[in-house]
Chains A and B, each alone.
Chain A
Amino acid sequence: MAPKLSSVAKTAQLAASALKSNAVRSSLKYSGQYQALRMINGTRAASSPAEKKTITIRDALNAGLAEELDRDDDVFLMGEEVAQYNGAYKVSRGLLDRFGERRVIDTPITEMGFTGLAVGAALHGLKPVLEFMTFNFAMQAIDQIVNSAAKTYYMSGGTQPCNITFRGPNGAAAGVAAQHSQCYAAWYGSIPGLKVVSPYSAEDYKGLIKAAIRDPNPVVFLENEIAYGETHEISEEALSTDFILPIGKANIEREGTDLTFVSHSRSVKFCLEAAETLEKQYGVKAEVINLRSIKPLDVPTIVESVKKTNHLVTVEAGFPAFGVGSEIVAQVMESEAFDYLDAPVERVTGCEVPTPYAKELEDFAFPDEPTVVRAARKVLGL
């Protein structure tokens, strides 16, 4: 039985057949058709379900946002340059054309003000998706995120919910220096009342942004700017409008028996590369866990893996002190996995410096594949 096509795929099909019959591209009548075509890598009615589609992370995120805007009128997107500019990083490309200025709103450069405004709208029952151009700028608004959004349900004795999604690039970009490169996973991960999500693959981005928007709590959705342009495989199931990933379940990207890597966001890529290297050069089979979620942290999956492999390396790009890696190590030590460790846990983190600009120095500031391999060899005694 042919799988049910997503509305995006249907739009793309119509656009493709319109183009076939009339060669002039500008003849496509309906907005969103170009967007759909770009998203689905030339979907045709005849393609078989077995064929693996690919999609950029940017387009997967765009699709997820479009689907949620389509599904629920209470959802709206707000942020700097999200509408007419099509998104500072083009994540919201085509959304203004498709949904109009009531649903996709450009803001002035006033983070504290527009974050408070979005939280107020959420308190009244709307479901804002608030974009920060980067989470570095969200520091100006962090009082509204923590004190007005995260804590309100509790302070009101469970009478005042706040369904809001805060999203945007987090962590390193390339050559943007200290004020534009910080990772905030640990800061938001410590706040009761927030959920914090950090996707890695295109499926993660699409499934988790939809879950975040539908979740009735405030959710912080940490993206990565370098990742936006990366192409990933995506299943037909993930392209459907009903595809949701649960918040709080980590994904085992690669199974292994000798060592566990626990990571999130872009660092998962370095773990996968390191796992290849370790297998080829040392015959070591490393298991790679993609956390997907910082709060809640999927401790059971980590514990089960450590019980199997007896060795653990955490990899993330945030500052080392009081970070995500520190939390993972503490949780593992407090769990039954403690008795299964054959060596102390090694944390691979960002370097404890404000991010430098010169590439030679910036390369030292964040994890990369050779560093991850070094950490693995240390833990395994190789």
Chain B
Amino acid sequence: MIRSVRPLANVSSRIAKRNLASSSSELVSIELPASSFEGYNLDIPELSFETEKETLLQMYKDMIIIRRMEMAADALYKAKKIRGFCHLSVGQEAIAVGIENAISKEDTVITSYRCHGFAFMRGAPVKAILGELMGKRTGVSYGKGGSMHMFAPGFYGGNGIVGAQVPLGAGLAFSHKYRGQKAAAFTLYGDGASNQGQVFEAYNMAKLWNLPCIFACENNKYGMGTAASRSSALVEYHKRGQYIPGLKINGMDVLATYQASKFAKDWAAQGNGPLVLEYETYRYGGHSMSDPGTTYRTREEVQHMRSRNDPIAGLKATLLDKGIATEEEIKSYDKAARAYVDEQVASAEADSPPEAKMDILFEDVYVPGSEIPVLRGRISDDSWDFKNKTFLNKVY
């Protein structure tokens, strides 16, 4: 008799709130610059569109939470409270936020190891994400996965092997189609991963079988320390799909990423098959916490992107411009986000790690109720007997 799988750490109700259009929510007109999009065998999305003020405010709040959460992770890593790999998305917030605000709970998202922002947007609480980074039992994956293996409803990780998530994403799209769902699978990968053979294998099957798979390259110009021009014979990643229509998007503008993601979701839901998106973006930090990010690019370049193209500053300017929020209100949102994240950091730090017990170590190798009889420990005495919930040779 198979017990049900463990539920995901308490998912926030933020998603439900977002989808309800309040009657007092006003519409605001957005006019994107022509440089926002570039199509490949595709008519670009409308540059002018209307959206609710509430949506813009929500996107601002989402981005600042992600920014503060990632910066908290940076500090915790330097304080040695986070171990191993930690890949931060500071500067790339507009993509996760734009996509989530454009899609529904039924759509699916999958990405690589630079996944904290996406996990948050899909419903994992800040505390659970930080908890997982610190290896706490209250983490998203109960302390078993770490930075690269976070999951949430409709979010399939968090994947450590570069490019492996792309065929997985095509599989999510396959399942949507198999079940007759009008949903899309947003399958993200970087410029570094874009040359993987399995990406092209996934493109082929998605186009052949008309799968609702939105392939989305987060082109942040560098695959670890290798500039895109040194890794890719063709750096126009939205054209790599050859027989699949493509769209390049200014990934530093959340309004552009939002509009493009809505366009892509509708494209897929209408049964038009796959698309290859390229969100042009930039990461201020290094590839991971082990990489200062300055040996292969100049500090000036990083500063330039930060001061001229920052997604949060960009949306802030729009909010002020359109009178959606005042300077004081925005400052208060910033303060609130900072306080909230600081509070979640403290709360997560106070939590305990998984107990150093063998039965916890051996849990989750197989679905409960279908475990194999024995899993071996470091020595034969430490072999765990699942049926009797004890050690094979000794009773501890």
Interface residues of A (CB under 8 A from B): 76, 102, 107-108, 110, 112-126, 143-144, 147-148, 152-161, 192-193, 195, 215-217, 248, 295-296, 299, 334
Contacts and interface: CB of A to CB of B under 8 A. Distances in A.
A108 B208 contact: yes
B170 A116 contact: yes
B175 A120 contact: yes
B372 interface: yes
B114 interface: no
B392 to A, nearest CB: 10
B145 A155 contact: yes
B366 interface: yes
Given A157-B139, A159-B5, A296-B374, A112 B167 contact: yes
A118 B159 CA distance: 16
Contact of B205 (A107, A124, A193): A107
A115 B175 contact: no
Nearest to B363: A158
A122 B7 CA distance: 18
A86 to B, nearest CB: 20
A154 B139 CA distance: 14
A295 to B, nearest CB: 7
Given A116-B170, A126-B179, A195-B372, 11 more contacts: A113-B198, A116-B168, A116-B201, A122-B171, A124-B172, A154-B364, A155-B145, A156-B144, A156-B149, A159-B6, A334-B380
A125 B175 contact: yes
B365 A193 contact: yes
Contacts of A124: 108, 156, 171-172, 175-176
Nearest to B380: A334
> Which among B144, B161, B366 has the highest number of chain A CB atoms within 10 Å?
B366
Interface string B35-68: 0000000000000000000000000000000000
Contact of A123 (B156, B200, B202, B375): B156
A167 to B, nearest CB: 17
B170 A117 contact: yes
Contacts of B365: 153-154, 192-193
Given A126-B175, A159-B6, A153 B367 contact: yes
Nearest to B153: A159
A160 B161 CA distance: 17
Contact of A161 (B140, B143, B367, B373): B367
Interface residues of B, number: 55
A158 B157 CA distance: 13
Nearest to A150: B365
B169 interface: yes
> Which among A76, A102, A110, A215 has the highest number of chain B CB atoms within 10 Å?
A110
A115 B198 CA distance: 10
A217 B202 contact: no
A295 B140 CA distance: 29
Nearest to A335: B380
Contacts of A216: 2, 367, 370
A118 B171 CA distance: 6
A122 to B, nearest CB: 7
Nearest to B167: A116
18 contacts: A112-B167, A113-B202, A113-B205, A117-B168, A124-B172, A126-B175, A143-B161, A144-B164, A147-B161, A148-B161, A155-B144, A155-B149, A156-B141, A156-B144, A157-B140, A193-B366, A216-B367, A299-B374
B118 interface: no
Given A217-B366, A296-B374, A117 B164 contact: no
Interface in B295-349: none
B142 interface: yes
A160 B151 contact: yes
Given A113-B201, A217-B366, A155 B156 contact: no
Interface in B171-218: 171-176, 178-179, 197-198, 200-202, 204-205, 208
A156 B374 contact: no
B142 A158 contact: yes
Given A113-B201, A116-B198, A334-B380, A121 B370 contact: no
A121 B175 contact: yes
A248 B370 CA distance: 11
A116 B164 contact: yes
Given A114-B205, A124-B108, A296-B373, A159 B198 contact: no
Nearest to A107: B205
A37 to B, nearest CB: 31
Contacts of B166: 116
> Which among A76, A116, A217 has the highest number of chain B CB atoms within 10 Å?
A116
> Which among A143, A155, A217, A296 has the highest number of chain B CB atoms within 10 Å?
A155
Nearest to A157: B142
Interface in B203-238: 204-205, 208
B197 A112 contact: yes
B353 interface: no
Contact of A157 (B143, B179, B374, B380): B143
A324 to B, nearest CB: 16
Contacts of B141: 155-157, 159
B105 to A, nearest CB: 14
B141 to A, nearest CB: 4
